[in-house]
C-alpha cells in the first residue's frame, strides 16, 4: 500500500509553500520576535485560503487530516508566526457543534483569531453559583493569546469528575492575558487568568462535561500536527545549511566538499525523510481509526530528529550559526519548542510502551 500525499495534497502543499514564501519571509518572523503579535494581513490571507477549515469529521472518520499535515509542514518550513495548530483544532471542534456555526465561520474566514490555553496552573474550575456557571483558573502556554479574539480552555466541572471546554472572550473584563518569556520568540506564549467569569450556555463547546474526551482528541491531533511542523523545520534547516556550505570557504575551497560535512548532511536527510514517512503513516492510521499509537511514534521520532538536525545545522554553520545575524538559531528554537509541545519524545515512547504491554496482557 502507498503511504504518501496524493495529488491534491501535494498541489495544496506547493500552493501553501509559495504563498507563505511570498507573504511571510524570515524578515517578517524577526519582526514578530521584536513585537509579538499576529499580523492581521496574515490572518486575513489564511482565512481567504480556507486553511483553518481543512479538517472535518464524517461520522467516526476524519476528513482532510493529511491536508492539514501537509499545510503544517510548510508552516514549519517558514517558521510561520501564527497559532495555526490551535486554529485548526479549534475550528474543527467548532464545526462539530451546530450551535456554533456563526463562530466557526468567523474563525475559518479569518474574521476572528482563535487560540488554545493548553496548560493549567493548578486546577481551573467551572462551578454553579445560584444557577449561574462561574469559571476561575489560570493557564500558561497559550500561543498568541494577547492577539486572539477567542481562547479555548478546559475546566474541571461543573460536576465532580467532569471537564468542560469553554470559549473565552479575551475582551471580557474577567479574562486577563499577560505575556511570558519563552525560548521561541516567533511563537509567543501568554498566561491567561480567569476570575469569576460568568459563563453562558453559548460559551460551552460541545456540551457540559464532555471536556475529557475532547482534551484527549485535541492532544492527539496536536501531537500529529507538531510532528508535521517539525518535518518542515528539519527540511528547511537542511536546505539552508547545504546552501551555506556551498558558499562558505576554508582552505581555499567550499566546505561542502569536505567529506565529514557530506556525511553529516546525509545523516540529517535520512532523519528528515524518516520523520516525514512516520507522520504520513500516522495521519493515515488516524484517518483509518487504526494503530493510534502511530501518532506517538511519529511525534517522538520527529521531535528527536528535529533537535538533532537543527543542532547539527548550527555546527555546520560554524561560529556564525549561534549569532543573531544567522537564521539557524530560529529553527533550533522552534524545533525545541515544538518537540516539547503535546508531550516530548519520552512521554510518547511511554505511551507506546504502555500500549504494547496492555496488548501483550490482553493476549495472555
The CATH class of 212-363 is mainly alpha
Task: Judge: domain 7-111, CATH 1.10.3470.
Answer: no
Range list for CATH 1.20.140.10 in the chain? 212-363
Distances in whole angstroms, Cα of residue 77 to Cα of each of 70, 142, 230? 11, 22, 8
Q: Kindly report, as residue ranges, where domains of CATH 1.10.540 are found in the chain.
A: 7-111
Grid cell in block for residue 215: 482534551
- The alpha carbon of residue 207 and the mean position of all alpha carbons in its chain are separated, in whole angstroms, by 25
- How many C-beta atoms lie closer than 10 Å to residue 173's C-beta? 9
| pLDDT value of residue 1 | 58
212 CB-near residues (< 8 Å, 6+ apart) = 162, 163
Computed over every residue of the chain, the mean pLDDT equals 92
pLDDT given at position 251: 74
pLDDT of residue 97: 94
The CATH code of the domain at 115-209 is 2.40.110.10
Nearest to 68 by CA among 286, 341, 331: 286
Taking the chain (364 residues) in runs of 10, the rounded mean pLDDT of each run is 76 92 92 92 94 91 93 96 97 95 95 95 92 94 95 93 95 95 89 96 93 95 97 96 80 73 91 95 90 93 97 87 86 95 94 89 82
pLDDT above 90 covers what percent of the chain? 76
The C-alpha angle with vertex 112 and arms to 106 and 115, in degrees rounded to 5, equals: 115
Please, which residues have CB within 8 angstroms of residue 113's CB and are 6 or more apart in sequence?
38, 43, 83, 87, 107, 144, 147, 148, 149, 150
Amino acid at each position: 500500500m502507498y503511504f504518501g500525499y496524493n495529488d491534491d495534497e501535494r498541489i495544496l502543499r506547493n500552493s501553501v509553500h509559495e504563498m507563505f514564501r511570498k507573504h511571510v519571509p524570515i524578515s517578517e518572523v524577526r519582526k514578530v520576535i521584536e513585537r509579538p503579535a499576529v499580523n492581521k494581513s496574515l490572518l486575513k490571507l489564511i482565512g481567504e485560503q480556507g486553511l483553518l477549515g481543512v479538517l472535518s469529521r464524517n461520522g467516526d472518520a476524519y476528513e482532510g487530516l493529511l491536508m492539514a499535515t501537509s499545510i503544517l509542514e510548510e508552516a514549519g518550513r517558514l517558521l510561520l508566526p501564527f497559532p495555526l495548530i490551535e486554529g485548526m483544532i479549534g475550528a474543527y471542534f467548532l464545526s462539530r457543534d451546530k450551535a456554533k456555526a456563526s463562530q466557526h465561520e468567523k474563525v475559518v474566514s479569518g474574521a476572528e483569531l482563535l487560540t488554545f490555553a493548553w496548560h493549567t496552573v493548578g486546577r481551573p474550575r467551572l462551578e454553579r453559583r445560584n444557577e449561574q456557571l462561574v469559571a476561575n483558573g489560570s493557564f500558561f502556554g497559550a500561543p498568541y493569546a494577547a492577539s486572539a479574539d477567542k481562547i479555548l480552555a478546559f475546566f474541571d466541572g461543573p460536576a465532580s469528575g467532569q471537564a468542560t471546554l469553554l470559549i473565552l472572550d479575551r475582551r471580557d473584563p474577567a479574562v486577563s492575558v499577560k505575556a511570558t518569556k519563552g525560548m521561541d520568540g516567533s511563537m509567543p506564549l501568554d498566561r491567561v487568568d480567569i476570575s469569576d467569569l460568568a459563563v453562558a450556555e453559548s460559551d460551552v463547546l460541545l456540551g457540559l462535561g464532555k471536556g475529557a474526551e475532547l482534551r484527549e482528541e485535541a492532544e492527539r491531533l496536536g501531537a500529529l500536527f507538531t510532528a508535521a511542523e517539525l518535518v518542515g523545520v528539519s527540511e528547511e534547516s537542511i536546505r539552508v545549511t547545504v546552501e551555506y556550505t556551498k558558499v562558505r570557504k576554508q582552505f581555499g575551497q567550499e566546505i561542502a566538499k569536505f567529506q565529514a560535512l557530506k556525511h553529516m548532511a546525509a545523516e540529517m536527510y535520512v532523519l528528515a525523510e524518516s520523520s516525514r514517512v512516520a507522520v504520513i503513516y500516522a495521519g493515515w492510521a488516524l484517518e483509518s481509526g487504526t494503530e493510534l499509537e502511530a501518532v506517538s511514534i511519529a511525534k517522538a521520532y520527529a521531535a528527536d530528529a528535529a533537535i538533532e538536525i537543527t543542532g547539527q545545522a548550527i555546527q555546520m554553520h560554524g561560529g556564525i550559526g549561534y549569532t543573531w545575524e544567522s537564521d539557524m538559531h530560529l529553527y533550533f528554537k522552534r524545533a525545541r519548542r515544538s518537540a516539547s509541545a503535546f508531550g516530548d519524545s519520552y512521554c510518547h515512547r511511554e505511551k507506546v510502551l504502555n500500549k504494547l504491554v496492555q496488548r501483550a496482557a490482553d493476549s495472555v
